[in-house]
Amino acid sequence: MKRLMITMLMLAAGGALWANEFDLPPGKWWEDQRLVERVGLTEDQQQQIRQVVFESARRMIDLNADVKLAGLELAEVVDQVEFDPQPVRKAFANFQTARQKLEQERFEMLLDVRQILTYEQWKKMEDIKRRLKQMRSQREPGQRQPGQRPQGRIP
């Protein structure tokens, strides 16, 4: 029961983070030479993005740990022999707060990256993301089409 509750809570937390369309390509996309050329990133922009992502990732590591800890504590109060909904509500509120802080940090990172890019560069990134999503949806899970680049590579 406890393991199931933790798994459900973690899936809910992760799903909310990735459901947002305001997103960036996976990995260190600012170092992918093809993407850099297609989008027209300057070396200065690459350095700025690298710094923003690094600093945000440092904070998100701690925030993610807070989410996991809050989920663990929630699972613990749910799994008590003498069930009391008040501590469960409080633990759930703590879990939601931790999750919100993590989501807020990720959103702020995305805003910071968007500020570094010009409007034209942002539009090119959206086109690349759309095509990546389209390529993924057209193939069988785990399979690549002949001549297709590995997942996560820029088309």
Tokens standing for 70? 């809050």
Residue appearing with tokens 């459901």? 19
Q: According to the model, what pLDDT value does residue 16 have?
A: 47
Q: Are 95 and 35 in contact (CB under 8 A)?
A: no
pLDDT in tens, 87-139: 999 999 999 999 999 999 999 999 999 999 999 999 999 898 888 888 888 87
Q: How far apart are CA 135 and CA 144, in angstroms?
A: 10
Q: Are 95 and 9 in contact (CB under 8 A)?
A: yes
Q: Are 61 and 93 in contact (CB under 8 A)?
A: no
Q: How far apart are CA 146 and CA 152, in angstroms?
A: 16
pTM score, two decimals?
0.70
Q: According to the model, what pLDDT value does residue 137 have?
A: 83
List of domains in the chain: 2-12+42-131 (1.20.120)
pLDDT in tens, 20-40: 466 788 889 999 999 999 999
Q: How far apart are CA 80 and CA 49, in angstroms?
A: 46
CA distances from 77 to 18, 48, 70, 83, 85 (A): 28, 44, 11, 8, 9
Q: How far apart are CA 27 and CA 143, in angstroms?
A: 20
